[in-house]
Amino acid sequence: MHMRRTGAVLSLAAMVGGLAACGGDDKTYASLADKVKDGGTVVVGTKWDQPSLGLKKGAEPEGFDVDVAKAVLNKMAGGKDVKVTWKESASSNREPFLANGTVDIVFATYSITEERKKKVTFGGPYVIAHQDVMVRKDDTSINTPQDLKGKKICKAAGSNSYKRITDPPPDGQLDLDATTVDAASYSECVQKLGGNNLDALTTDDLILAGFAKQAGGNFKVLGQGFTDEKYGIGLKKGDTKTCEAVNTAVKALWDDGTMKQLLQKWFGGIQGLKLSETAPPAEGCA
């Protein structure tokens, strides 16, 4: 009995220690929220290859997700500046980075799904995106998502967007017979689309809008979103204290107008794009 109890205590200590030691600080914390309040350095995972969302052009990434991360952490710290180390987090490594402590928190076009909830605790969502389709500007054969039947679409590593086209509900949406072409990231998908190795790229409209804006008119977005993609804030599984703090911060940012300002800053004026006007309801931290 004594041996079993000791083992359980050690297991619990290891679990808490793993949560607390995120980001490589020598000091340990019971939650990321405690670390933020104590002034510890927070390791934030973002995309580094997605224009207007998370794109590394200099010493740090820039974009909507980056600005939201800064604003949320600032609210959590009571208005104080938070020391941040930025870490590139592609779709394929968001879950393992959170699980092994490589990052403390992820803001990276991270759609909340039931499958992902098994591995990650999500704060938010902080905005709702909608899956849409981007094609070359001179392509007249694809005018609706349903026109992707028989076409070549991109399958970015770690993303489930292609399933919305190829699979039936509940995981998919349209159940179309389309051919998937593998790519390591959405930036590689865009390269393949520009090189005529794809017929279309389909994913969240905010992602597509950023790439279309960067390409200077070489691509067009159909403007026919057909899903709701709830962008969540990824946290280590079980860190409900931080999740609740994050949700409080997100609500405050919508209430004071910051979120609408950031959406306009990065996505305002893009044809076919409908931006969120109100705060999405929180998913809950259970």
φ, ψ (nearest 5 deg) of residue 201:
-120, 125
Please give the pLDDT value at position 25: 59
Q: DSSP assignment of 126-150, as one string? A: EEEE-EEEEEETT--S--SGGGGTT
φ, ψ (nearest 5 deg) of residue 145:
-55, -30
Please give the pLDDT value at position 55: 96
For residue 153, list its beta bridge partners.
180, 200
At 218, is the secondary structure helix, strand, or coil? coil
pLDDT digits (tens, 9 = 90+) for 205-252: 999 999 998 988 899 999 999 999 999 999 999 999 999 999 999 999
Please give the pLDDT value at position 109: 94
Please give the pLDDT value at position 6: 36
The torsion angle over the Cα atoms of residues 74, 231, 53 and 170, rounded to 10 degrees, is 170
pLDDT digits (tens, 9 = 90+) for 100-134: 999 999 999 999 999 999 999 999 999 999 999 99
CB atoms under 10 Å from CB of 79, counted, come to 7
| C-beta separation of 48 from 59 below 8 A | no
Question: How many DSSP H helices and E strands does the chain contain?
Answer: 10, 13
Place of tokens 């600005």: 67
- What's the CA gap between 121 and 58, in Å, rounded? 31
Closest CA to 271 of 198, 230, 219, 193: 219
For residue 233, list its beta bridge partners.
123
Structure tokens at 149: 């039947």
Domains in the chain and their CATH numbers?
28-127+230-267 (3.40.190.10), 131-221 (3.40.190.10)
- Cα 162–chain centre separation: 16
Please give the pLDDT value at position 171: 78
At 201, is the secondary structure helix, strand, or coil? strand
User: pLDDT over 70 for what percent of the chain?
Assistant: 91
At 274, is the secondary structure helix, strand, or coil? coil
- What's the CA gap between 92 and 49, in Å, rounded? 13
Find the DSSP H helices in 82-128.
Answer: 94-100, 114-117
In the predicted model, residues of the chain with pLDDT beneath 70 are 1-26
| C-beta separation of 222 from 134 below 8 A | yes
Closest CA to 280 of 129, 77, 115: 129
